[in-house]
Structure 1
Amino acid sequence: MPFALLDRWRAPAPDPRKVAWIGAQDYAHRGLHGSGVPENSRAAFARAIAAGNGIELDVQRSGDGQPVIFHDDTLDRLTSESGPTERRSAAQLGTITLSGTAETIPTLRQVLAQVGGKVPVLIEIKSDRKVRIAALCLAVRRVLEGYTGNHAVMSFDPRVSRWYWRHSPHTVRGLIVSEGEDRALPGKIRRRLSLWHARPDFLAYDVRDLPSRFAAAQRGRGLPVATWTVREPEHDERAAAYADAAIFEIREGDA
């Protein structure tokens, strides 16, 4: 009971009308990617739009301060280039091909123009303790200004949601949570402190941690729960039972 009271005070539940769209569909994790279609590419987003799926995507900040769509903080895994993503300008990143295809690294502005409100978008803002949160969040907010399609920002870093609560309260904001091996009392305390600091409108929860008493308590008081990354039949069942939406990847043979 004390935690429930503190949750309502420190992290109030959102107006249901603000977040009703979160649970209205599932979301393709980094777009509908697969063989020949790289993750976080315009081709993957086009496939998701055609299928009527929402889109989950990742944002990094380029060297010239623009939000670009890329998961990693280095180029090595997904391109033939190497080194930190943040050392290249958006224009330079836009010439780098992904995974041996003709797809290149797009900006957030380009992808939102492509989506055009046809499906909702969950924007994961990638962060670590070295990142200047205010600069990154402001860069994303500037791109979102005037965009009328359903969209939300989210991050593992509670500072991101906190920034939007303070500076862009109409933006739907989420806290990404993974309990992992951190389920003892110190981990429970850290999750609560993150919740109170972030003041999110919804949670994006690791499907491997469901069912979760913490997630259920927040969902029960009005915070929608999306769950990631849903890849297996068992994950489908957990998502259906314990979450409002799935952030999924297509399994081999399902495409």
Structure 2
Amino acid sequence: MRVPLPAAFLSAPLAHRAYHDRSLGRPENSRGAIKAAIAAGYGIEIDLQLSSDGVAMVFHDEALDRLTARTGPIKHHTAAALSQIKLRDCDEPVPTLAEILALVAGQVPLLIEIKDQTGTMYDTDARLEAATATLLATYQGPVAVMSFNPHSIAHMARLAPHIPRGLTTSAYDPTDWAPLPPQTCDRLREIPDYDPTLSSFISHEAADLPRPRVTELKTQGAAILCWTIRSPVAEAAARKIAQNVTFETYAAALPA
């Protein structure tokens, strides 16, 4: 069953990794950034990684190094341990998805990106997808899931068929995506998994929005989002094709 993306996701711009600003003490994917997005009236995009004990954590990177004072893969730590690791530039620890769902509580649209757990875009063990589906089973409010890894979205179609799902998509320049094999880049570039996963939207790399395949999907009824917009000029250009943007580093205009 293909579940349409709710109209709310095509209205207010989506704050990338929430409305983050480290200079103001609200790093990406933090509670502070979530609260700021809600207060501003923006939709929110967040990222998920998996703890060693199977808990969905709201965190972008595979490793802790960039965003905390610790090092090494996030997947080597339990959720309890991660709850003691502070994010840089604030006093908040790495949050769980359960905590963020309770904080958002349906106030604004929430777009959840399930990060690839394989490093290769191969099939996953579905642990992160299962943890996500369990938490979303009782969530009330506009929510959707997406991933660069189409296998993750295939798992979500099975585990949470009522949740709108889509693919995060890209030009897949092999130089940018190394060590992903060039042949994998070639395949994913043409978005062949949209129909097999019964997706209803894509979130596409902004610079690559003119790709014919994007136009084809839009013509067929796919909702088109994009990533990541960093200025009003770039937003205006993206909106010639995309129906909404994921933004950061500026205050995107809200609909009148």
How many residue pairs are counted as aligned between the two chains? 239
1:68 is matched with which residue: 54, 57, 76?
Answer: 57
Is 1:138 paired with 2:130? yes
Q: Counterpart of 1:109 in structure 2: which amino acid?
A: A
Once the two structures are TM-superposed, the CA of residue 189 in structure 1 deviates from its matched residue by 4.9
Structure 1 equivalent of residue 178 of structure 2: none
When the two chains are superposed, the root-mean-square deviation of aligned CA atoms in Å is 2.4
Once the two structures are TM-superposed, the CA of residue 141 in structure 1 deviates from its matched residue by 0.6
**2:239 aligns to what SS in structure 1?**
helix
Once the two structures are TM-superposed, the CA of residue 180 in structure 1 deviates from its matched residue by 4.1
Structure 1 equivalent of residue 223 of structure 2: 224
Structure 2 equivalent of residue 202 of structure 1: 201
Counterpart mapping for 1:154-169 below 5 A: 154-169=146-161
- Does the 8 A contact of 1:38 with 1:103 survive in 2? no
Change (3 A) 1:55 1:243: same
Counterpart mapping for 1:212-251 below 5 A: 212-251=211-250
- Does the 8 A contact of 1:22 with 1:224 survive in 2? no
Is 1:31 paired with 2:31? no
Structure 2 equivalent of residue 101 of structure 1: 90
Unaligned residue ranges in structure 2 (runs of 5+): 175-181
1:49 is matched with which residue: 38, 44, 47?
Answer: 38
- Does the 8 A contact of 1:58 with 1:124 survive in 2? yes
CA distance in structure 2 between the aligned counterparts of 1:175 and 1:70, rounded to whole angstroms: 19
CA distance in structure 2 between the aligned counterparts of 1:98 and 1:231, rounded to whole angstroms: 23
Once the two structures are TM-superposed, the CA of residue 181 in structure 1 deviates from its matched residue by 3.2
CA distance in structure 1 between the aligned counterparts of 2:139 and 2:238, rounded to whole angstroms: 29
Runs of 4+ that moved beyond 4 A: 184-189
- Does the 8 A contact of 1:123 with 1:151 survive in 2? yes
With structure 1 as the length reference, what TM-score do the two structures score? 0.86
With structure 2 as the length reference, what TM-score do the two structures score? 0.86
Unaligned residue ranges in structure 1 (runs of 5+): 1-11
Structure richer in helix, relative to its length: 1
CA distance in structure 2 between the aligned counterparts of 1:121 and 1:38, rounded to whole angstroms: 18
Q: Deviations over 1:52-89 (max 9, x none)?
A: 10000000011110001001111111111111101111
Q: Deviations over 1:131-173 (max 9, x none)?
A: 8442111100111121011001100000111112223211110
Percent of aligned pairs sharing the same letter: 37
CA distance in structure 2 between the aligned counterparts of 1:240 and 1:45, rounded to whole angstroms: 24
CA distance in structure 1 between the aligned counterparts of 2:125 and 2:93, rounded to whole angstroms: 26
CA distance in structure 1 between the aligned counterparts of 2:130 and 2:89, rounded to whole angstroms: 33
1:123 is matched with which residue: 107, 112, 115?
Answer: 112
Change (3 A) 1:108 1:186: closer
47-56 or 199-208, larger mean C-alpha shift = 199-208
Once the two structures are TM-superposed, the CA of residue 210 in structure 1 deviates from its matched residue by 1.8
Once the two structures are TM-superposed, the CA of residue 104 in structure 1 deviates from its matched residue by 1.2
CA distance in structure 2 between the aligned counterparts of 1:112 and 1:171, rounded to whole angstroms: 15
